[in-house]
Amino acid sequence: MKKKLSAVILALLVSSFVLKAQTNEQAKSIVTTDLVFNEKSGMVAVEGEHFYKQTRTELRHWFITSKEKVPQAKPDPDEDHIAGASGNAYIEILPDTRVTHSCKLYKLEESNQETLKLVNFTDLPGKIAVLHYKVNINTPGRYYVWVRAFSAGSEDNSVHAGFNDTWPENGQRMQWCEGKNAWTWESKQRTEKEHCGVPKQIFLDIVKTGIHDIQFSMREDGFEIDKFILTNDINYVPQGEGPAINLLKGQLPQAF
């Protein structure tokens, strides 16, 4: 009996180790640190899965979902959304513990030691699950941020944007209400008066040329990113999978 019990415990430990290894693998960057995206004619586009690193991952990670692999991080209550994703891959903040308004809300700004690991929302940008992308800016100025996201529930539809470890007010609380259950481009900021977001109010003022660290961080867990765009054209609205990608240096990984 003791031998059987020991065998069961060993099997569970091995299974747990394998699962953790698989989970961590899909949270790793698939690009080299020399990869730099290049702004051309006031526009730069980047696939979500091409982050060169992620930080502040004590509570959540961004995981890559592709045609080849689906993350094993749990809970993840919705199915994968590979269909229609640019490059056959996207990223999602997991675990996802708050899907609808009826799910328990744990705010970082209200948490204590007992509830810290349960946090699934924060209005404090740059605190949880920060993505990093190197982008070369040739034309300094105001860049409007567009993100192609998939929202399946009422509580997985917002994110924060920033750059160079700064989180300006106009990069915070990017919000999606329309385009549920589909890959949808949006660039709106949630405000106290307009919860579904105000258009043309999400932007980053990048005043210097050169390579900048463009960043996104969690507001709600379960948020999914396929691709993002920076454009200095206030009236630009991306369609389909968006514009082509330009590189300053480095090489993109093999497509999924």
Residue 132's domain is classified under what CATH number?
A: 2.60.120.1620
- How high is the pLDDT of residue 143? 98
- How high is the pLDDT of residue 153? 82
- How high is the pLDDT of residue 102? 87
Asked, for residue 256, whether it belongs to a domain, the answer is: no
Asked, for residue 254, whether it belongs to a domain, the answer is: no
- How high is the pLDDT of residue 101? 85
Q: Which residues of 219-228 are buried (b: 16+ CB within 10 A; e: fewer)?
A: bbbbbbbbbb
CA-closest candidate to residue 156, choices 86, 75, 211 = 75
Asked, for residue 135, whether it belongs to a domain, the answer is: yes
Asked, for residue 145, whether it belongs to a domain, the answer is: yes
Asked, for residue 79, whether it belongs to a domain, the answer is: yes
Per-position pLDDT tens, the chain of length 256: 444 434 433 433 333 333 355 557 899 999 999 999 999 999 999 999 999 999 999 999 999 999 999 999 999 999 999 999 999 999 999 999 998 888 999 999 999 989 999 999 999 999 999 999 999 999 999 999 999 999 988 889 999 999 999 999 999 999 999 999 999 999 999 999 999 999 999 999 999 999 999 999 999 999 999 999 999 999 999 999 999 999 999 999 998 9
Per the structure, the count of domains in the chain is 1
Asked, for residue 104, whether it belongs to a domain, the answer is: yes
- How high is the pLDDT of residue 100? 84
- How high is the pLDDT of residue 254? 92
d(CA 107, CA 115): 9
Asked, for residue 103, whether it belongs to a domain, the answer is: yes
- Quote the domain boundaries for residue 34: 2-249
- How high is the pLDDT of residue 52? 98
Asked, for residue 255, whether it belongs to a domain, the answer is: no
- How high is the pLDDT of residue 23? 58
